[in-house]
Amino acid sequence: MRLHPPPPRPLRPLRESAVVAVTALGAAALAEIVWVLAGSGLTSVLDRTSEGPSLRSIEDLLPLVTFLVRVLGTSVAVVWLFLVRAVAAIAFLVWLFRARANAESLTPVPHRWFRILIVLGWALPVVNWWIPKQIMDDVWASSRPGGVRGEHIGREAHSGLIWSWWVSWLLGSWVLPLVGVLLFAGGDRSSSGGAFWLDVFTLAPTLAAAALAGTVILRITKAQEGRRAWAAGLPPP
């Protein structure tokens, strides 16, 4: 018969993955800014690819070359933006996996969702509007000084910082893009000046979400590194 619970698993270092994740989020935010500023021209090129010039005489060569260069540049920009976003998402998820593993060691109270939903929770329709936030809430509650205070982690006080991050992310990733689809469903998006301003308005919560996500990462990392140093008898970072 056990008189005491087994010792928790040692916490894994989190600082390096946090630095990578925050840097990747910053790079993705910069890429979003560049994309929006150049977006009207890039989008118009994509929309007019089917209207490219044909080579009927030598005089048509220069317009054709110019058109192909613009299309190639647009394609490179699209691929670059996709890659930067993918790297940021992977870096964030790697950090979250490690932070979640540490958080489980810091409290005997079970978290609300399985680890596999750290990834799938972002992709599943409808539930992706709240599962990722709840996962982050549980990591935050487990990592903060004092840890989980009750017997149900879902009833812990929620962080206003995480709420701000999540609302900004929903606005920039779902709500405003959906509004844009509805507004421009029947028209030519590239010819409307309103489309550019919608992109600008969408950019604002997107950048806010990136900044707030970086702050959440640093706060949780600092808390867990402090607990790890205390457990090892080291001075706090």
Domain range summary for the chain, segments of one domain joined by +: 15-231
Q: Are 221 and 14 in contact (CB under 8 A)?
A: yes
User: Mean pLDDT, consecutive 10-residue segments, the chain of 237 residues?
Assistant: 49 93 95 76 47 47 51 64 93 97 92 94 94 96 87 88 97 88 64 68 93 97 89 60
pLDDT of residue 97: 96
DSSP state, 171? I
For helices 61-106 and 15-47, angle between their N-to-C axes, nearest 10 degrees: 150
Cα–Cα separations (whole angstroms), residue 30 to 45, 90, 202: 22, 17, 14
Predicted local distance difference test score (pLDDT) of residue 149: 85
Distance (Å, whole) CA 88 – CA 10:
27
Helices and strands in the chain, H and E counts = 7, 0
Please state the length of the chain. 237
Write down the residue that tokens 């607990």 correspond to: 227
User: Token digits for 170?
Assistant: 């929903």
**What integer pLDDT is reported at residue 74 of this predicted model?**
58
Confidence at residue 10, expressed as pLDDT on a 0 to 100 scale: 80
Judge whether 185 and 28 are in contact, CB under 8 Å. no
Q: Which pTM does this prediction carry? A: 0.80
Q: Element (H or E) spanning 25, and its range?
A: helix 15-47
**Tokens read off for 45:** 């090129």
